[in-house]
Chain A
């Protein structure tokens, strides 16, 4: 589970001035934060925005050429374009007052359009969201997917472009899936789809009777959308306090094309419907894994090696997964400003325990390596445990001809003494119209633990979605 959590939930307050008591949103500070982030990211964001725009434009040209048959000189395909999507309105409120955040946890409307065309040689795909967000007071266009897929040979699949990528066996716990996650969306109650952030990558898959291999090359690091203080408040170990939009993290992210790249590979095989896989990753901690003396949070080098198996056990499905997180910038664990290496373990089981009623349980352990060195180099504040144990449970019940879905997902850590509960009700009023309500509830005995730090962010939400 590769959620934000530095060695000591570490980050540094940006505005070292005494915390303002004036308003929920300190506009001055926000402006200052934005300014400094902008300075840091100026080139990036411009480049990113520009690329987004160019990519969207390129796709529109490709699709328009397929739709209208306009001769662009480059004949793409005569195949028709399928269009789908949804319109959604989503509203949520915080259950506890947080002076660093607005009372509304989510308040947005979203139009998603999904275009796909399947010419002879492969697939063309574009999926984008137009979002009006009242919490951040902005209007945004987000490209979720924009890729070309082709089968250049009988045993090769190739996908190039912006794409959503997932592998591994965990249920909302990720060990070897190091593709970007959007934890902010997850905690504020967006649809599960938005937990997976897109990768700008090339995926090549090679198939054979002996074994299959996936290789994903991301030419420029795609980090998680981590908990930065924006919308979700967190434990700041710099001043031992819960901070939010008053102290958004000041980041230094690797962003050089083809130098700050990520490489992920999976070697897998299905033997009698037991799915075995080996994984390797070379890149960076996906959420901040360290911090500098000047307060910048960083994304140190990370290599991950892992394995998993999934298959039938008795009446249900069992899975095992393990990953060794090699924190390459601090192999000895002596550098207090970089995450130590870890080993992560997961065992899961799910079974249908009644009619349209499924129970899933997982046990997950994070073991910090070189723990003695961690303690010796801990600057201040409460220390993390060497072993973090986490239990998850998922209970899903379908009712009313499967049109009503009740879902409860809970994380509970006996070592951190905290928990995170995600109840959700989804009712399909018609084939097109769905109504939804849910909550994100955090509890914790301590303010610095993984979920405990989010306890002021508990929220409830409701949504209506029209799919077409």
Chain B
């Protein structure tokens, strides 16, 4: 009996220590989860007009413009994206639709609608670290990297930021050896991400250049990715951002073929 009391007391004491240490040094998993929610899951749904300006090392510029609609199935979990392209002219009215899945080893479902052919194509899921619409943003930057794919370490913190180092659990599946994220303590927004290659050299930076409060939700309205290897960079700007607009069940073949009125207004 007395043994049991001792063990019980010991458990309580250790538990108390661990609570105390949580108070001093916050749990890194909580930090990255909050950052993930801030960056990809604000409100229950949202809509924005997105412009991308891609500048290559020679200074030549290409533009992308699309309307994006998002609806979350659950915070931090699955969500749906609907992307309606406006520019460049050769992809005008094309639609890209994603059912994002966050369960481990579950690929996203992706569709592309090509209006000139009235063709609904299923896109074979693949490497998420390939360019999104030819920009320096990768598919994974836009849709969010699954938290479970990395080991997270809090490497630095001060009054305004946390710095988290993320090391992939499957190093062979990605081109980086690790990346660091500076997270704003107040908004939980990732403000700067630095990617290091297999030799430990910095080769890629994503910066949040402008964060605005929209309907009470901190929102990155301007961000930039710089590829130090290729000398190319892309600026992505969000305008007409709206939250909780009541995005309906538009993630279906019906709306792939004939977009909802929402995307055009």
Residues in chain A within 8 A of chain B (CB atoms): 84-86, 116, 118, 120, 123, 149, 151, 157, 159, 163-166, 192-193, 195-196, 205, 207, 212, 268, 270, 273, 275, 310-312, 315-317, 319, 350-352, 355-356, 358, 401-403, 428, 430-432, 434, 465, 467-468
Contact = CB atoms under 8 A, between A and B. Distances in A.
Interface string B115-147: 011111011111100110111000000000000
A351 B124 contact: yes
B153 interface: no
B99 interface: yes
Given A157-B258, A164-B118, A401-B131, A312 B54 contact: no
Closest 4 A-B residue pairs measured CB to CB? A352-B126, A467-B89, A402-B134, A431-B88
9 contacts: A85-B89, A164-B116, A164-B118, A193-B117, A205-B254, A358-B126, A402-B134, A430-B60, A431-B62
B254 A350 contact: no
B122 A310 contact: yes
Given A123-B258, A351-B124, A430-B62, A164 B89 contact: no
B63 A431 contact: yes
Given A166-B119, A432-B88, A352 B127 contact: yes
A268 B253 CA distance: 10
B232 A207 contact: no
Contacts of A350: 124
Contacts of A270: 252-253
Contacts of B197: none
B109 interface: yes
Nearest to A431: B88
A283 B62 CA distance: 47
Contact of B107 (A157, A163, A315, A468): A315
Given A118-B261, A401-B232, A356 B89 contact: no
Given A164-B116, A355-B130, A401-B232, A467 B124 contact: no
B118 A212 contact: no
A165 B254 CA distance: 14
A316 B124 CA distance: 5
Nearest to A353: B126
Contact of B127 (A316, A355, A465): A355
Given A166-B119, A468-B89, A157 B254 contact: yes
Nearest to B56: A401
Contacts of A159: 258
B213 interface: no
A292 B118 CA distance: 35
B90 A86 contact: yes
Contacts of A118: 261, 264
Contacts of B264: 118
Given A163-B118, A312-B125, A207 B88 contact: no
Given A315-B124, A430-B62, A431-B63, A86 B89 contact: yes
Contacts, number: 97
Nearest to B86: A82
Interface string B224-252: 00000000100000000000000000001
A85 B90 CA distance: 8
Nearest to A150: B258
A358 B124 contact: yes
A39 to B, nearest CB: 35
Contact of B89 (A312, A316, A403, A432): A432
A166 B89 contact: no
B204 to A, nearest CB: 15
Interface in B76-123: 87-90, 92-93, 99, 107, 109, 116-120, 122-123
A165 B258 CA distance: 12
Contacts of B88: 431-432, 467
Contacts of A195: 117
Contacts of A311: 122
B235 to A, nearest CB: 15
Contacts of B126: 315, 351-352, 358
A84 B92 contact: yes
Contacts of A312: 107, 109, 125
B195 to A, nearest CB: 17
A317 B109 CA distance: 10
B57 to A, nearest CB: 11
A273 B118 contact: no
Contact of A192 (B63, B117, B118, B120): B117
B242 to A, nearest CB: 18
Given A118-B261, A312-B107, A430-B62, A196 B124 contact: no
B66 to A, nearest CB: 14
Contacts of A355: 127, 130
Contacts of A315: 107, 124-126
For B60, B109, B232, B252, which residue has the most chain A Cβ atoms within 10 angstroms?
A: B109
Nearest to B261: A118
Contact of A166 (B117, B122, B127, B130): B117
A207 B116 contact: no
Interface string B168-198: 0000000000000000000000000000000
Contacts of B122: 275, 310-311, 317, 319
Given A164-B116, A196-B117, A431-B87, 9 more contacts: A118-B261, A166-B117, A166-B119, A212-B254, A270-B253, A352-B127, A358-B126, A401-B134, A465-B90
A401 to B, nearest CB: 5
Nearest to A79: B264
Nearest to B106: A312
Contacts of B134: 401-403
A126 to B, nearest CB: 14
B118 A166 contact: yes
Nearest to A349: B124
A84 B135 CA distance: 23
A262 to B, nearest CB: 16
A164 B134 CA distance: 28
A84 B89 contact: yes
